[in-house]
Amino acid sequence: MRDSRVWRVLLPHLLLWSLVLGALGLLVAVLWPVAAALLLAAAVALLVEPVVYRPLRHVLDRCLPRLPVDSRRWLGALGATLLLVLAGGGTALAVLWALLGSWEATWSAILGMALQDESRITATATLVGQQAEHLTRLYGGGVIDGAAVAKVVHDGLSHTQVGAEVLHYLTSGTGGFVAQTALVLVTCFYLFCQGPGLVGLIARWLPVEEPSLDRITETYRATAYHLLAHIMGRALALGGGLGLIAWLVADLNGVLVAIAAALLALLPLVGPLVSWMPLAGLVWTRGDPGTAVAMAIGGWAWCWLVGWLFRQVAARLGTDQLWLEFLVFLGLVGGILAQGAAGLILGPAAVLAASVAAAAVREVYLPDLEDTP
C-alpha cells in the first residue's frame, strides 16, 4: 500500500518532467540545423549589449519617458540592430573598396551581387584573390591563401537572395553568408528586445542580493568594454598606424598593410609583433637596410604606444588583469581553430561569459574576498 501511495505521488511529477524533456528535445532537434548561427548571434548580443543597446535605451528613456516600456525596448533593439548592420556593412564596403582599388570596381561587385551576374562576381573574386596574393608576398608565404580568399568571396557573393537563402538555411542548415548574416541579425534583434527580461527572470532564482547583482552587472559592462576595445579598437589602431608607416617609410601599399596588420593584431601578445616584423624583413631583403631599420623602429614604437594606451584604458575599467589577457588569447586562438572566422566573436564572448560567471560565484560564496588584504 505504501509503495502504491509513493507511486501515486511520484507518477504525476515523472510525467510532467517527461513532457518537459520531450519538448526540450523536440526544440533542440528543430533548432540544431541553425545552432551555429544562433550561437553566433548570442555571442554578438552578449558583447555589444552594454556598448550599443544599453546606451540607446538610456537615450530613449530620457527622450521618450511617456512611451510604453515595451515600445522603448523594441525601438532600442531595432536601433542597435541597425547600428550593427551599418557597422558591418560599412566595414565590408570599406574593405572591399580597399581590396578592389576603386569605387568603380566596388560598384561592379555590388551590381554583380545584386543581379547575380556571374561574370562580375568572378572578376571581383579574382581581383580580391590577386590582392590577397600581394599580401602573401608582403607577409611571406603560408600566411594568406589567395585562392582560398577568392573562393570565399565568390561563394559569398553568389548567395545573396536573402529570402530564398534564409528559407533554405532554416530548412537544411546550410546556406550562403548573406543568409546566415540575416538570421544572426534577426536573432540579435530578439535577444536585445527580450534578453534583459530573460536575464532578470533567471536572476530572481539566483541566491544573489541586489547590491551583489549590481556588482556583477558592472563586471559584465566593464569586461565587455575591455574586450571590444582590446579586439576592435586596438586592432584598428594598430592596423591604421602601421599602414601609414609602411606607406610613408617604405612606400608599401598602406591600405593592404593596414587590413592585414589589423587582422593579425586581433591576436594579443603575438599579433602586434607579427604585424610589423615581416614588413621590416621584406624591406631589408630588397637591399635597403636603412629603410628596414626605420620601418622596424616605427612599427615597434607604434605597437608599444597603442599597447600602453589600451593598458591605461583597461586600468581605468578595472580589467587589466593578466589572466584576462591570457584568456582572450586562448579564446581567440581556440575560437578560430574550432569555428574559423566566427571564433573572433565566439572566443571573446566565451571569455566574457566566464568572467561574469566567476563574478557571480565570488559574490555568492566569497563576498569578502576583495576586502581581504
Q: Are residues 173 and 51 in the same domain?
A: yes
Residue 169: pLDDT band (50, 70, 90) is: low
Percentage of the residues of the chain whose pLDDT score is greater than 90: 3
Q: Is the pLDDT of residue 373 over 50?
A: no
Can you say how many angstroms the Cα of residue 124 is from the centroid of all Cα atoms in its chain?
26
Q: Is residue 220 part of a domain?
A: yes
Selected residue with higher pLDDT from 134 and 222: 222
Q: Are residues 199 and 226 in the same domain?
A: no
Q: Are residues 223 and 346 in the same domain?
A: yes
If one counts the domains in the chain, the total is 2
Residue 100: pLDDT band (50, 70, 90) is: confident
Q: Are residues 79 and 186 in the same domain?
A: yes
Residue that terminates a domain, selected from 176, 205, 234: 205
Q: Are residues 276 and 176 in the same domain?
A: no
Q: Are residues 37 and 116 in the same domain?
A: yes
Q: Are residues 40 and 189 in the same domain?
A: yes
pLDDT at 82: 93
Query: Domain residues for 358?
Result: 207-367
pLDDT tens figures, 275-302: 788 778 877 877 778 888 888 888 889 9
pLDDT tens figures, 330-360: 888 788 788 777 888 888 899 888 888 888 8
Q: Are residues 257 and 363 in the same domain?
A: yes
- Over residues 1-25, the mean pLDDT reads 78
Tell me the average pLDDT of the chain. 78
Is residue 97 a contact partner of residue 103, using CB atoms and an 8 Å limit? Answer: yes
Q: Are residues 190 and 254 in the same domain?
A: no
Q: Are residues 44 and 74 in the same domain?
A: yes
Least confident among 31-45, 80-94, 173-187, 264-278: 173-187
Selected residue with higher pLDDT from 300 and 274: 300
pLDDT tens figures, 24-74: 888 888 778 778 888 888 999 998 888 889 899 899 888 888 888 888 889
Q: Is residue 3 part of a domain?
A: no
pLDDT at 371: 46
pLDDT at 81: 92
